[in-house]
Structure 1
Amino acid sequence: MEKNLGIKSQTYYPFTAFLVSAIILVIFYLKKGENSLSAEDSTTKHGNSSERCNYYSGKWVFDNKAYPLYKGSQCPIMTEDFACEKFGRKDLMYQNWRWQPHHCDLPRFNGRRLLESLRNKRVVFVGDSLGRNQWMSMVCMLVSTIPSLDNSLQLQRIIYRFQATEYNATIDFYWSPFLVESNCDDAWEHRGLENRVVRFQAIEKHATHWADADILIFDSYIWWRDSQIKFLWGSFDDQNGIYKEVSMPHSFEQGLQTWSDWLELHINRHRTRLFFVTMSPTHSWAEEWGRSADQNCYGETQQIRKEGYQGRGSDPRAMQVLEAAIDKLKKRGLTVQILNITQLSEYRREAHPSIYRKYWQSLTEYQLSHPSNYSDCAHWCLPGVPDTWNELLYAHLFHD
Structure 2
Amino acid sequence: MKQIVSLDKKIQSLYPLALASILLLGTTRLVFDGLKSNNSYVFQKCGRQIRAQQQVVVVSPKDLIDESCNVFEGNWVWDNVSHPLYTEQSCPYLVKQVTCQRNGRHDTFYKNWRWQPNGCDLPRFDAFKLLQILRGKRLMFVGDSVQRGQFESLVCLVQSIIPEGKKSLERIPPRKIFKIQEYDASIEYYWAPFIVESISDHATKHTVMKRLVKLDSIAKHGKHWEGVDYLVFESYVWWRYKPTINATYENPDDVQEYNVSTAYRLALNTWANWIDSTINPQTQKVFFMSMSPTHLWSWEWKTGSNGNCFNETYPIQGSPSYWGSGSSLEIMDIIRDTLAGLKTNVKFLNITRLSEFRKDAHTTIYGERKGKLLTKEQRADPKNFADCIHWCLPGVPDTWNEILYAHLLKSHQNIS
Q: 1:146 & 1:308 partners in 2: Cα distance?
A: 41
- What is the aligned partner in structure 1 of residue 138 from structure 2? 122
Tell me how far 1:291 sits from its aligned partner.
5.3
1:247 pairs with one of 252, 259, 262: 259
Name the SS of the counterpart of 1:392 in structure 2. Answer: helix
Alignment of 1:387 onto 2:398? yes
Q: Which amino acid aligns with 2:239?
A: W
Q: Report if aligned partners of 1:72, 1:78 keep a CA contact under 8 Å in 2.
A: yes
Alignment of 1:310 onto 2:323? yes
Q: Which amino acid aligns with 2:363?
A: P
Q: Which amino acid aligns with 1:355?
A: I
- What is the aligned partner in structure 2 of residue 324 from structure 1? 337
Tell me how far 1:293 sits from its aligned partner.
5.3
Alignment of 1:155 onto 2:167? no
Q: Report if aligned partners of 1:283, 1:313 keep a CA contact under 8 Å in 2.
A: yes
Q: Report if aligned partners of 1:143, 1:149 keep a CA contact under 8 Å in 2.
A: no
Name the SS of the counterpart of 1:246 in structure 2. Answer: strand
- Which shows bigger deviation, 339-348 or 293-302? 293-302
Alignment of 1:361-380 (within 5 A): 361-380=372-391
- What is the aligned partner in structure 2 of residue 142 from structure 1? 158
- What is the aligned partner in structure 2 of residue 82 from structure 1? 98
Q: 2:285 & 2:333 partners in 1: Cα distance?
A: 22
Number of matched pairs: 350
Q: Report if aligned partners of 2:64, 2:409 keep a CA contact under 8 Å in 1.
A: no
Q: Which amino acid aligns with 1:351?
A: A
Tell me how far 1:375 sits from its aligned partner.
0.8
Name the SS of the counterpart of 1:232 in structure 2. Answer: strand
Alignment of 1:284 onto 2:300? no
Q: 2:172 & 2:373 partners in 1: Cα distance?
A: 21
1:204 pairs with one of 198, 215, 219: 219
Structure-1-length-normalised TM-score? 0.84
- What is the aligned partner in structure 2 of residue 358 from structure 1? 368
Tell me how far 1:194 sits from its aligned partner.
3.7
Q: 2:163 & 2:115 partners in 1: Cα distance?
A: 25
Q: Report if aligned partners of 2:162, 2:180 keep a CA contact under 8 Å in 1.
A: no
- What is the aligned partner in structure 2 of residue 216 from structure 1? 231
Structure-2-length-normalised TM-score? 0.81
Q: 2:205 & 2:60 partners in 1: Cα distance?
A: 50
- What is the aligned partner in structure 2 of residue 343 from structure 1? 353
- Flag the 1:118–1:220 CA change in 2: closer, same or farther, 3 A: same
Tell me how far 1:54 sits from its aligned partner.
1.1
Alignment of 1:289-304 (within 5 A): 289-290=301-302, 294-304=306-316
Name the SS of the counterpart of 2:89 in structure 1. Answer: helix
Name the SS of the counterpart of 2:311 in structure 1. Answer: coil
- Which shows bigger deviation, 141-150 or 370-379? 141-150
Q: Report if aligned partners of 1:111, 1:146 keep a CA contact under 8 Å in 2.
A: no
Q: 1:293 & 1:196 partners in 2: Cα distance?
A: 32
Tell me how far 1:290 sits from its aligned partner.
1.7
- Flag the 1:209–1:37 CA change in 2: closer, same or farther, 3 A: closer
Alignment of 1:40 onto 2:50? no
Unaligned runs of 5+ in 1: 1-35, 44-50
Residues 31-90 of structure 1 deviation map (CA, whole Å, 9 limit, x = unaligned):
xxxxx99532312xxxxxxx4321111111111000000011110111110000100111
Tell me how far 1:382 sits from its aligned partner.
0.2
RMSD (Å), alpha carbons: 1.7
Q: 1:283 & 1:62 partners in 2: Cα distance?
A: 21
- What is the aligned partner in structure 1 of residue 38 from structure 2? none
Q: Report if aligned partners of 1:82, 1:353 keep a CA contact under 8 Å in 2.
A: yes
Q: Percent of pairs identical after alignment?
A: 42
Q: 1:294 & 1:147 partners in 2: Cα distance?
A: 49
- What is the aligned partner in structure 1 of residue 205 from structure 2? 189
- What is the aligned partner in structure 2 of residue 46 from structure 1? none
Flag the structure with larger Rg. Answer: 2
